[in-house]
Amino acid sequence: MSRYSAASILRHALSGNTSWPRAWRDPEPQKAYDVIIVGGGGHGLATAYYLAREHGIRNIAVIEKGWLGGGNTGRNTTIVRSNYMMPGNTMFYERSMKLWENLSQDLNFNVMISQRGQYNLCHSPGQLDAARRRGNIMRANGIDAELIDRAEVKRRLPYLDYSENARFPIHGAIYQSRAGTARHDAVAWGFARAADRLGVDILQQREVTGFLREGSRIVGVQTSRGDVRGKKVGLCVAGHSGHLARMAGLRLPIETHSLQAFVSEPYKPMVDTVISFGAAHFYISQSDKGGLVMGGDLDMYNSYAHRGGLPMVEHTLASAKALMPCISRLKLLRHWAGAMDMSMDGSPFITRTPIYGLYLNGGWCYGGFKATPASGWCFAWTIAKDAPHPDNAEFTLDRFERGYQIDEKGVGPQPNAH
Amino acid sequence: MIRITCPVCGTRAETEFTYGGDATVSRPGEEETSMQPWLDYVFNRDNPRGWHREYWHHVQGCRQWVILERNTLNHEVGACTLARDAVEAEE
């Protein structure tokens, strides 16, 4: 398959764009694989890609029940950032940020990474102190962070509510200039094409319904279209990790919750960055097509429905209006929901499991998209070497038993509070 | 909007309630000294696709804790009973 380049665009333009090759194959499964990845979203495809590229394992299948990137990869608000402060999280997300910065070149696919910066607003002196602490931890780890005061926030983001009537006055913000957005579909497609070029078989429309076992060991998966054998099976099915793990006999510290996102009608360029409200769970950016992309809080109750409730629609839009009164008359164009793996401490899992041959990547809560490249990179390492990389060493299942939860917000084992 | 039929107040909107999580886990006895029952109680969940037995607190109504059967695939609601009745039945 040919590389994408300016020359290839020209060449295909001359032939009327009629001879573009498929971006990836649609193969029949082989009898047995070295590694089977369950889940053809960003994380699963990235895992397959890095297994093939970094570890020379080419005999890999990615098994997807629907179509590539049709789950949470296609449902998020496309924000990438690395402003984490708990040991175990900080350097993992920074690895991801660094991989994002070169991802389009790496994959020979434009993932439209746009490092437009991200502001976390602070609405009280206490919140600003907490942001200062977070910023210092980030900077001590070599990650960019900048604390800015109210006047500077007002200069840079003049369209927020700075009036006397603002329900939550803005005291300042912490800013990460390398953060930004990426095009989420392109991330799935880019990893799929790059993995396919390295020989990975991507098997779509094939739902995993159970596991093949020999003794206590897992040796493959049963699917809706026949069994596929594999020496190692990795789960990348966040949202449904608990469901798949239960088929294998594991009970996880995860609940599945529904998280909504929203896009407004297209509007002239206004929000040239990413803004997180500090007083409620709300974040906003603007897409290249002009739609304001907004995310809010969970619906708070367990759900696999891929459908949000109206109370949270109202809550999110009330937050939008409290932050930016100027958008109060914009109409919503679309809203949708995704099923989130909410873990008990708000942090993910990239780990071996107690079942031989089964590996778990899940528990991504709100934050899976930004983690995509490092998640694949670290999961590939863990599967290939049967041991974690230092960057994902803390993302184990037994951290609860050992008392080493990574609770970034400090709210305790309450999945809907993270 | 989920509408919950509180055994005390009748049918009310979900916004009057606060979600309290999985009602199938139960706290081990104080004399329990092994780790696993506590881990299962505090952290591990069945997280079913389908019918789920869960606590809701009617915080803006009668302030009773109720147990609701609800389907996590389509948000259909089933029986709703007072949590204290379930506890008394167990005892």
pLDDT at A408: 92
Q: B91 pLDDT exceeds 90?
A: no
CB of B27 within 8 Å of a chain A CB? The answer is no
For residue B78, which phi and psi values (nearest 5 degrees)? -120, -135
d(CA A292, CA A333): 10
Tens of pLDDT, residues B6-54: 999 999 999 999 999 999 999 999 999 999 999 999 999 999 999 999 9
**Are the Cβ atoms of B45 and A242 closer than 8 angstroms?**
yes
> Which two structure tokens, joined as six digits, stand for A371?
């983690």
| Count of A-B CB contacts under 8 Å | 70
B52 CB neighbours in chain A (<8 A) are: 302
Which fold, A34-109+183-253+345-417? Answer: FAD/NAD(P)-binding domain (3.50.50)
Is residue B42 less than 8 Å (CB to CB) from chain A?
Answer: yes
Which residue on chain B is closest to A249 by alpha carbon? Answer: B46
Per-residue model confidence as pLDDT tens digits over A383-413 = 999 999 999 999 999 999 999 999 998 899 9
Per-residue confidence band for B72, with pLDDT thresholds at 50, 70 and 90: very high
Q: Which residue of A has its CA nearest to B46?
A: A251
Q: What average pLDDT is seen over chain A?
A: 96
pLDDT tens readout for residues A197-255: 999 999 999 999 999 999 999 999 999 999 999 999 999 999 999 999 999 999 999 99
Question: Contacts of residue A242 in chain B, CB cutoff 8 Å?
Answer: 45-47
CB–CB contact B72 A303 (8 Å)? yes
Nearest to B43 among A242, A243, A344 (CB): A344
Q: Do A309 and B73 touch (CB under 8 A)?
A: no
- A253 Cβ under 8 Å from any chain B Cβ: yes
Contact B22 A302 (CB under 8 A): yes
Chain B CB contacts of A310 below 8 Å: 1
> Which of A300, A304, A416 lies at the smallest CB-CB distance from B49?
A304
User: How many alpha carbons fall within 13 Å on the CB side of residue A52?
Assistant: 26
CATH 3.30.9.10 domain residues, chain A: 118-178+257-343
What ipTM was reported for this prediction? 0.95
Please state, in angstroms and rounded to a whole number, the distance separating the CA atoms of residues A37 and A237: 9
Q: Is B59 on the interface with A (CB under 8 A)?
A: no
State whether residue B68 sits within 8 Å of chain A by CB.
Answer: no
- Give the whole-angstrom CA distance, residue A342 versus residue A62: 24
CATH 3.50.50.60 residue ranges of chain A are 34-109+183-253+345-417
Average pLDDT over residues A379-386: 98
Radius of gyration of chain A (CA): 22
Nearest CA-CA distance, residue A413 and chain B, Å:
7
Question: Could you identify the residue written with the tokens 């081990």?
Answer: B28
A242 touches chain B (CB under 8 A): yes
Residue A87's closest CA among A404, A413, A355? A404
Q: Give dist(CA A72, CA A260) in Å, integer.
A: 11
- The verdict on A246 touching B (C-beta cutoff 8 Å) is yes
Candidates A240, A250, A303, partner chain B, best to mutate (most B CBs within 10 A): A303
Q: What is the mean pLDDT of residues A188-201?
A: 98
- Tens-place pLDDT, residues A267-311: 999 999 999 999 999 999 999 999 999 999 999 999 999 999 999
At B77, which helix (H) or strand (E)? strand B77-82
- B1 and A252: CB-CB below 8 Å? no
* Chain B CB contacts of A240 below 8 Å: 49
Q: Which residues of A touch B14 (CB under 8 A)?
A: 301, 309, 311
Euclidean distance between CA atoms A353 and B56, whole angstroms: 33
Average pLDDT over residues A56-84: 96
- Reduced 3-state DSSP string for A303-326: CCCCCCCHHHHHHHHHHHHHHCHH
Mean pLDDT score, A337-343: 96
Answer for the pair A72, A369: CB distance below 8 angstroms, yes or no. Answer: yes
Q: What share of chain A is helix, strand, coil (3-state, %, to 5)?
A: 30, 25, 40
Residue B88 C-alpha, separation from nearest chain A C-alpha, in angstroms:
25
CA angle A399, A306, B83 (to 5 degrees): 65
State whether A401 and B39 contact (CB < 8 Å). yes
Give the distance from residue B86's alpha carbon to the nearest chain A alpha carbon, in angstroms.
21
Closest CA to A418 of A401, A402, A406, A404: A406
Pick the CATH number of A118-178+257-343 from 3.30.9.10, 3.40.1180.10, 3.40.50.300, 3.40.50.2000: 3.30.9.10
The two structure tokens encoding residue A136: 């210092």
Out of 3.30.499.10, 3.20.20.100, 3.50.30.50, 3.30.2270.10, select the CATH number for domain B3-90: 3.30.2270.10
Distance CA A62, CA A200 (A): 7
pLDDT of residue A294: 97
Mean pLDDT, to the nearest integer, of A66-82? 96
A268 in reach of chain B (CB within 8 A): no
Do B75 and A309 count as a contact with CB atoms less than 8 A apart?
Answer: yes
Condensed to tens digits (0 to 9), the pLDDT of residues A125-178 reads 999 999 999 999 999 999 999 999 999 999 999 999 999 999 999 999 999 999
Q: How far is A305 from chain B (nearest CA, A)?
A: 5
| Residue A220 β-bridge partners | A212, A229
Question: Considering the entire predicted model, what is its pTM?
Answer: 0.96
Q: Shortest CB distance from B44 goes to which of A252, A300, A310?
A: A252
Q: How many contiguous H segments (helices) and E segments (strands) does chain A have?
A: 11, 18
**pLDDT > 60? residue A1:** no
- To probe the interface with A, which of B16, B47, B55 has the most A CB atoms within 10 Å? B47
> Where does the pLDDT of residue B88 fall: very low under 50, low under 70, confident under 90, or very high at 90 and above?
confident
Residue of chain A nearest B39, judged by CA positions: A401
CA A214 to chain CA mean position, Å: 34
Proportion of chain A above pLDDT 70, given as a percent: 100
pLDDT at position A418: 86
